Structure 1
């Protein structure tokens, strides 16, 4: 069976609301950060639905025994924010996955060539191959950054089938690139926009997510 990239745009009204707040150029930085936190929370909620491994057991209520399910603590979980913009979604994602390990990677894009390069990598030399990985990256524009990060992960033993990407805005070129290079991936995004301009920005997008988050 041929694998294909799966992309989900959840129709949740809160996701639509906070996306609208984040898009508005009049939104101040403090409110933009709140919008990104909420988008990180609700998109992560959708992304981990039926994804986290569970174990079935039994517990005793004050009245009687009953069947119960817990998230399997033996399966490693990792949250990876791509610096620096990925930190904007981190608080919301981490609220739902408080026991997940957090690994940072910093990627910068050459403004002329649009080619990405890694300037910080805090990944271990090897991951447990069963690790479930959630990547937070607000903008999937050209696809260069996310494919670079995926390359670093697969070199360290991560199966793309165990990866979920949480993004606020995605573009067709980025999704097409991911479908070619890592077709087993699953992406959760608040919206898919029309195009990318010659500077590598998604249009209409929401501007520079890092600058708007940190007020710089």
Structure 2
């Protein structure tokens, strides 16, 4: 499994804003959206299928390439926090389809339970899939989503995971099961606390994005 942390100053800038506990909800959400845009841009490099064509310019004819309109990227945000990574995605992905999944985590057992699943019944190994979730801590939720995608026919080598902060337990669990998977993260933090939160992390992304700072 490949884990890529882009060495980009804008990634560092927006991550610093997202980490700051004093950042208000609106700015936190904007920072996550900007991180999503940069990380998605990196994730789809050499991943988007293209078609060759010609177009008439004002003074001649040019050979061009377009993103293939018949092969949209399938985007799977894990609700609710996964949505904030997609607020700027439209500026990166010209053609996409979105399928929402929702999970809630038991704060005592740290086990995730699905409450929403809008995935298509069948997927093709050729489908290119982008899964977004700001935090990869224990990896429990992400592993359930990946297992569901693979069970429906997806090829792990055609799945990209985009997050803001990742931790070793999640990355190890994912690498053990999905060798062809790729993960794009703004940073990898070293540890989890007893509640399963990434340290130093950035807290509960969903709560912070939607106004609950507790």
Alpha-carbon separation, structure 2, partners of 1:197 and 1:126: 38
Normalising by structure 2, we get a TM-score of 0.95
| Number of aligned residues | 212
Give the superposition deviation at 1:98. 4.4
Give the superposition deviation at 1:66. 2.1
Question: Which residue matches 1:47?
Answer: 43
* Mapping for residues 27-176 of structure 1, pairs under 5 Å: 27-176=23-172
Give the superposition deviation at 1:92. 1.9
Q: Is the 8 A contact 1:18 1:36 kept in 2?
A: yes
Alpha-carbon separation, structure 1, partners of 2:90 and 2:100: 13
In structure 1, runs of 5+ residues without a counterpart are none
Deviates more, 1:64-73 or 1:10-19: 64-73
Give the superposition deviation at 1:153. 0.6
Question: Which residue matches 2:178?
Answer: 182
Give the superposition deviation at 1:107. 1.0
Alpha-carbon separation, structure 2, partners of 1:167 and 1:91: 14
Deviates more, 1:68-77 or 1:201-210: 68-77
What SS does the corresponding residue of 2:87 show, helix, strand or coil?
helix
Give the superposition deviation at 1:14. 0.8
Task: Provide Cα deviations, 1:182-204, integer angstroms capped at 9, x if missing partner.
Answer: 11110110000010111110000
Structure 1 residue ranges (4+ consecutive) displaced by more than 6 angstroms after TM superposition:
none
What SS does the corresponding residue of 2:81 show, helix, strand or coil?
coil
Task: Provide Cα deviations, 1:112-166, integer angstroms capped at 9, x if missing partner.
Answer: 1111111110111112432211111100000111110001111111111111111
Give the superposition deviation at 1:76. 3.1
Alpha-carbon separation, structure 2, partners of 1:204 and 1:167: 15
